[in-house]
Amino acid sequence: MNNSPEVSSTAQDTPSSAPQPSAFERWRRKAMLVTGLGVTDDERLEDLRQHHIRDCERKKEYLMNYSPVVVFMLKHLKASGCEVPMSNVLCAPCDMSKAGGFTPDPGAVILCAGHFFSQQHMESTITHELMHMYDHCRFKVDWANLRHHACSEIRANNLSGDCRFTRELRRGFLSFSKQHQACVRRRAVESVTANPACPNEAAAERAVNEVWESCFNDTRPFDEDHCYVSVSLVLL
């Protein structure tokens, strides 16, 4: 038996009587946040965080609907039995060391709001993390196994666009000989080194070297969709 007091339908249907701020008040509040007059540093920081999250959500929604490579990955994840709803790609504040991440359980992609310098940067980050999700779904990756982790990192860096020439130039790496392979290897070693199951960088390098040839040449799901080959080559 429910002993809680009943709420009348009249009370439920009555809109809140709290007055809404006028356009002038909203403008005044925004001006205070921009100038810092009359607000605390914490309030300004929180306003900036919320702005970054809103901007991230807007761009994420666009890419999940219209980016050829992101839509392609979402299609193949669904075909593999791992459909990714919009709510499983989250925009959130992060530290400055990364742009995104993947959590195997419950299967979510994290986008670090405010860390993207272009829409293309966000696109390659989403693609990178969806590649991890695809590997986890289809190949049952054991992320504590350094060889498994290394293989997925090699594939994600190779196929997402993370190692395109312009991205490497922005990071301060310039090479005209095997630049792409060097980037894929370096970033894979960095990621595996950060794995809690990895004792040191030498172990990460060993794991990457052991699986390099087979995993670098594994371009699934791109090689399974012949209609997409020309698009993927342009993106990479």
Catalytic site positions:
129
Q: Which of 225, 231, 230, 145 is nearest to 192 (CA)?
A: 145
Cα angle: 204, vertex 221, 216; to 5 degrees: 35
Long-range contacts of 28-31 (CB under 8 A, 24+ apart): none
Residue 76, CB-side half-sphere exposure with 13 Å CA sphere:
23
What is the DSSP code (8-state) at residue 227? Answer: G
What is the number of alpha carbons within 13 Å of residue 135 lying toward its C-beta?
24
Question: Is residue 100 within 8 Å of residue 116, measured between CB atoms?
Answer: no
Longest dimension (CA), the chain: 75
Burial of 94 (0-12, 13-18, 19+ CB in 10 A): middle
At residue 57's C-alpha, the angle toward residues 149 and 141, to 5°, is 15
For residue 61, count other CB atoms closer than 10 A to its CB. 13
